[in-house]
Chain A
Amino acid sequence: MSTLAHARHVLAENPVTAVAFCLFALLVAAAIAGPSLVPYDPLASSDRALAPPSVQHWFGTDNLGRDVFSRVVVAARLDLGMAFAAMAIVFATGTVAGVAAGFLGGWTDRVIGRVTDTIMAFPLFVLAMGLVAAAGNTVANVIWATAIINFPIYARVARTEANIRREAGFVEAARLSGRGTLQVMICEILPNVLPIMMVQVSLTMGYAILNTAGLSFIGLGIRPPTAEWGIMVAEGAGYIVSGEWWIAFFPGLALMLAVFTFNLLGDGLRDIVDPRRRS
């Protein structure tokens, strides 16, 4: 049964995953087309500060009179971009390290094992703060901080998957047919592990965005005046008690929607990718 047919079947049978895919498409569209479609310049302040949602400003304006709707849409590109970049880095490094540890075993396994343990032993958040505080709060540093935090999860999953397949028949066959260890690892193990790692990407995408938001809350997030969901929620949070709920609410909603979509996507992907579920 081809994956596409199976995918269609899973989507049809599971409405939640279908919704997740539509939301994902919406988010990507906002990230790509967003900045050009937005009604206002997201960075332009105006004297209509703290205006509630209205016809001109769908999501109202923030304390400097900037249109919240424009900023939320424009922020999609930055937030998703950062999350994807961080996940891409850690997907590559984590998978390779994990597979190497799982497949080669011995010293490689022990060394990579200790590195992942050290990172795991670190309180995730303080590690990110340390990195950003040490290297300055540029977008690149936030991406690196998020990537490093998630490295252990990937390395662990990749290692177990590679370990299971080490003794699998087809691996044994490939090794017997004279293929080099490296070749076996890349041509046999990696393709099998990749789909499972794909599921992992979507699951940790959510955490990547939340990390950035957390960093912004303590002042180490992205530099102002750039529009980013995390900062907007962090700044808006101060206005909840005074009644301007919309400044934090809509970026929070966008954040929730994105993380929500990635988590549901992860479950959906797992159904499609996971051979056991394909019965």
Chain B
Amino acid sequence: MISRRHVLKAGTAAAAGAALSAPAIRGAAAQARRETLLLVSENPPNSTDIHGVGANRPAYEASWNLYDRLMTFGVKKDANGVDHYDYTRLEPELAEEWILTPTSVTFKLRRDATFHDGTPVTAEDVKWSFDRAVSVGGFPTFQMRAGSLEKPEQFVVVDRHTFRVDFIRTDKLTMPDLAVPVPAIYNSGLAKKHATAADPWAMEWLRANPAAGGAFRLERWVPGQEMVFARFDDWKSGRRPALARVIWRIVPQAGNRRALLERGDADISFDLPPKDFQELAAARRLKIVGTPVENAMQYIGMNVTRPPFNDVRVRRAIAHAIPYQRIMEQVTFGTAVPLFGGPAEPTEPVWPQPSPFVTDLDRARALLAEAGYPNGFETTLSFDLGLASLNEPIAVLVAESLARLGIRVTINKIPGANWRNELLKKELPLITNTFGGWLNFPDYFFFWAYHGQNAVFNTMSYQNPEMDALIDRSRFTQDEAEYRAAVKGFIAKAWEDVPRVPLFQPKLMVAMRENVEGYRYWFHRQLDYRVLAKV
């Protein structure tokens, strides 16, 4: 709990370091300044509780740094030497070790681990936290179910520091699913004190008051403006973080964020427009890191249930009418991996991979004529207003290119709240959107985006029994060869039916000052303060 003493102590420390613009930075302030990281970003977190109703992606960042999980992923170096999480290796965090059997996994918890308020961490807390995750509904419950973690009965307290999870089916996603942000460990004693009859899981209270034991604790939160984290010195679940304090400031204007970085008033920022990253790479005293976002792509989706997109020839025509090269140059500015112009048939069971389509207006015109639309048709191209800086130029270029085929496109910007609503209704004929799965498996992506269960991410309402069969076989087969054949099979099906046209694989771009070390790329695309340092 943030006691007044903490705040005052922190307050005075901050005040001491406040002589930012004053020429002579006093010793203590300089030292505090070096151990404090200033992060600026566009969208504020709306909760510190990953299970909270409507918790947004920035809220995942808060939860990731405030709470512990049983396990975490290892680390490897990616192509250009940047730390990258390694989803093939699971490493201890709160659990020191675990025994995996075909039917269950048993975790041995650290004996000396405590929550921020000093109470020791027990298996009872883990049980309460997992029960909560599968019971509150919405996104957390759905994410747990993705790894076949569905019922409280699966979670058993063996003794004070031993916790077992019983499997209901063999699912290779279960173990990795235990290391994602959702199964965080809550201080159940503290949480239950603030639960009520109407709110048994203390959702209300835990939104702004973390009952956590992670590497950082919450010093101050001014919603929509600032979140300040302070290092939890008694943290036992990993190496002691180098940073003493992290200040997260919300600066809506991208131009201002860039100016702050260039003038050295901010240490790190991401979600800057692609063009800025290209130019900042040349700026002195700044480091730009770009990591392709695993299992994610920007695509043009077509609603296969609505004419004219129910005709595959029209969809192929659209795929050939996209100005791929100009989008790469004028929209992504080299901050993305192209996903077009690939081989006709998929050679590797890897996702995402380039589609066989290239810009070929004549071919497109021929296909349209063949489908019975020689002089085009009228339609709308919609996208999420929240991601307008990327989607709008794409929409404008696509619309202009389709116009050459006589397809008259009205561009439709939809505010965030309404965008999700429209996706649910699945009525939009043509959209440009981005989607990425946390767990880096092709079948995980296709399960959500192409499977007949018609989840909200299957924006094209594409239902094809053959595709479903291939996806299900790949999910549950134990045989490596059968898995590889199934994956290549459903990718070929995706090219053949082309309900959605891949454009590019986005890169998570991060700009930081030269003296910031230890950045690690995570699948949840948020910042891990625990590994950062300022030299």
B329 adjacent to A49 (CB under 8 Å): yes
Residues in chain A near residue B388, CB distance under 8 A: 219
Q: Complex formed: what's the CA distance from A133 to B255 in Å?
A: 25
| Complex interface residues of chain A between 218 and 250 (CB less than 8 A to chain B) | 219-220, 223-225, 237-243
Q: Is B119 an interface residue (CB 8 A)?
A: no
Shortest beta-carbon distance from A46 to chain B in Å: 9
Report if B196 contacts A (CB, 8 A): no
Contact bitstring B316-338, A, C-beta under 8 A = 1, else 0: 00000000001001100000000
In this assembly, does A65 line the interface, its C-beta being within 8 Å of a C-beta of chain B? yes
Assess the A63–B330 pair: CB atoms within 8 A.
yes
Known interface pairs A219-B385, A219-B413, A242-B275; A45-B330 also in contact (CB < 8 Å): yes
Query: In the bound complex, how far is the Cα of B262 from the Cα of A49, in angstroms?
Result: 24
Residues in B with CB closer than 8 Å to A111 are none
B503 contacts A by Cβ under 8 Å: no
Complex contacts, A18 vs chain B, CB 8 Å: none
- Please pick, from B255, B385, B397, B413, the residue contacting A64 in the complex, using a CB distance under 8 A: B397
Is A238 within 8 A of B389, CB to CB? yes
Interface residues in A32-60 by Cβ distance below 8 A to B read 43-45, 47, 49
Given contacts A64-B397, A219-B385, contact A224 B254 (CB under 8 A): no
User: Could you give, for residues 240-269 of chain B, a 1 whenever the CB lies within 8 Å of some chain A CB and a 0 otherwise?
Assistant: 000000000000001110110010000000
Q: Kindly state the separation between the CA atoms of A44 and B412 in the bound complex, as whole angstroms.
A: 19
The 8 Å CB contact of B255, one of A47, A63, A220, A237, is A237
Question: Is A137's CB within 8 Å of the partner chain B?
Answer: yes
> Chain B: how many interface residues by the 8 Å CB criterion?
28
Residues in chain B near residue A243, CB distance under 8 A:
279
Q: Which of A63, A220, A237, A241 has the most CB of B within 10 A?
A: A241
User: Which A residue sits closest to B262, measured CB to CB?
Assistant: A241
- At the interface, yes or no: B395 with Cβ under 8 Å from chain A? yes
Taking a contact as CB atoms closer than 8 A, the residue among B256, B258, B330 that contacts A65 in the complex is B330
In the assembly, what is the distance between CA of A114 and CA of B531, in Å?
61
In-complex Cβ contact of B413 among A49, A63, A65, A137 (8 A): A137
Tell whether A225 pairs with B400 under 8 Å between CB atoms, given A219-B388, A238-B254.
yes
Whether B399 sits at the interface, judged by CB under 8 Å, is yes
Segment 373-396 of B: residues with Cβ below 8 Å from A: 385, 388-389, 392-393, 395-396
Bound-state CA distance A219–B416 (Å) is 11
Bound CA span A242–B283, Å: 11
Residues in B with CB closer than 8 Å to A240 are: 255
A220 to chain B: which residues have CB within 8 Å?
Answer: 415
Considering only CB atoms, which chain A residue lies closest to B259 in the complex? A241
Contact residues, A69-121 vs B (CB, 8 A): none
Q: Which of A189-239 contact B (CB under 8 A)?
A: 219-220, 223-225, 237-239
Residues of A contacting B412 in the complex (Cβ-Cβ under 8 angstroms) = 223
Give the complex CA separation of A223 and B415 in angstroms: 13
Interface centre among B259, B388, B399, B413 (most CB of A within 10 A): B413
**B273 interface residue per 8 A CB criterion:** yes
Q: Are B395 and A224 in contact (CB under 8 A)?
A: yes
* Chain A interface helix/strand/loop/mixed: loop
- Asked whether A223 lies within 8 Å of B411 as measured between CB atoms, the reply is yes
Which of A137, A225, A238 lies in contact with B396, CB distance below 8 A? A225
Contact B410 A223 (CB under 8 A): yes
Q: How far does the alpha carbon of A43 sit from the alpha carbon of B409 in the complex, in Å?
A: 13
- Pick from A44, A137, A237, A242: contact of B258, CB below 8 A: A242
Within 8 A of A (CB), among B62-79: none
Which of B275, B329, B397 is packed against the most chain A CB atoms within 10 Å? B275
Q: Which of B256, B388, B400 has the most CB of A within 10 A?
A: B400
Q: Which of B410-443 contact A (CB under 8 A)?
A: 410-413, 415
Contact of B275 among A44, A63, A133 (CB under 8 A): A63
Query: A225 — which chain B residues lie within 8 A by C-beta?
Result: 396, 399-400, 411
Q: B400 near A44 (CB under 8 angstroms)?
A: yes
* A223-B399 contact given A49-B330, A64-B393, CB 8 Å threshold: no
**Of all chain B residues, which has the CB nearest A231?**
B392
Contacts of A63 in B (CB 8 A): 275, 330, 393
Which residues does chain A contribute within 8 Å of B396, judged by CB atoms? Answer: 45, 64, 224-225
What residue in chain B is nearest A244 (Cβ atoms)?
B275
Residue of A nearest to B399 (CB): A225
Chain A residues positioned under 8 Å from B117 (CB to CB) = none
Interfacial chain B residues near A47, Cβ < 8 Å = 326, 329-330
In Å, the complex CA distance between A165 and B388 comes to 53
Assess whether B360 is interfacial by the CB under 8 Å rule: no
Could you tell me the distance between the alpha carbons of A203 and B446 in the complex, rounded to whole angstroms?
58
Report A133-188 residues with CB < 8 Å from chain B CB: 133, 137
Q: Counting CB contacts under 8 A, is B276 at the interface?
A: yes
A173 to chain B, nearest CB (A): 58
A64 and B400 alpha carbons, distance in the complex (Å): 11
Q: Closest residue to B388 on the A side, CB-wise?
A: A219
A262 → chain B, closest Cβ, in Å?
A: 29
B397 and A241 contact, CB distance less than 8 A: no
Are A64 and B273 in touch, CB under 8 angstroms? no
Distance between A58 CB and nearest chain B CB, rounded to angstroms: 21
Cα-based distance from A104 to B332 in the complex (angstroms): 63
How far, in Å, is B219 (CB) from chain A's closest CB?
31
Contacts of A65 in B (CB 8 A): 330
The answer to whether B276 touches A242 (Cβ under 8 A) is yes
Q: Which of B100-143 contact A (CB under 8 A)?
A: none
In the complex the two chains form, what is the Cα distance from A45 to B392 in whole Å?
Answer: 13
Contacting pair B397 A238 (CB below 8 A)? no
For B415, list chain A residues within 8 Å (CB).
Answer: 133, 219-220
Residues of chain B within 8 A (CB-CB) of A239 are 255, 275
**Complex interface residues of chain B between 251 and 306 (CB less than 8 A to chain A):** 254-256, 258-259, 262, 273, 275-276, 279
Roughly how many angstroms separate A238 CA and B275 CA in the complex, as a whole number? Answer: 10
Q: In the docked arrangement, what's the CA distance between A63 and B333, Å?
A: 11
Minimum distance in angstroms from B413 CB to a CB of chain A: 6
Report chain A residues within 8 Å CB of B399: 225
Which residues of A have CB within 8 Å of B330? 45, 47, 49, 63-65
**Docked CA distance A149–B531 (Å):** 52
> Which of A43, A44, A225, A243: most chain B Cβ within 10 A?
A225
Q: With A and B bound together, what is the CA distance between A45 and B258 in angstroms?
A: 26
CA distance A43 to B254 in the complex (A): 25
The distance from the CB of B451 to the nearest CB of chain A, in whole angstroms, is 33
Residue of B nearest to A225 (CB): B396
Give, as a whole number of angstroms, the nearest-CB distance from A62 to chain B: 10
Q: Which 7 A-B pairs have the closest CB atoms?
A: A241-B255, A225-B396, A219-B385, A49-B330, A224-B411, A241-B259, A241-B258
Known: A47-B330, A238-B254, A242-B276. 17 other contacts (CB 8 A): A45-B400, A63-B330, A63-B393, A137-B413, A219-B385, A219-B388, A219-B413, A223-B412, A223-B413, A224-B396, A225-B399, A225-B400, A239-B255, A240-B255, A241-B259, A241-B262, A242-B258
User: What are 23 A-B pairs with beta-carbon distances under 8 A?
Assistant: A43-B400, A45-B326, A45-B330, A45-B400, A47-B326, A64-B393, A64-B396, A65-B330, A133-B415, A219-B385, A219-B388, A219-B415, A223-B411, A224-B392, A224-B396, A225-B396, A225-B411, A238-B273, A238-B389, A240-B255, A241-B262, A242-B258, A242-B275
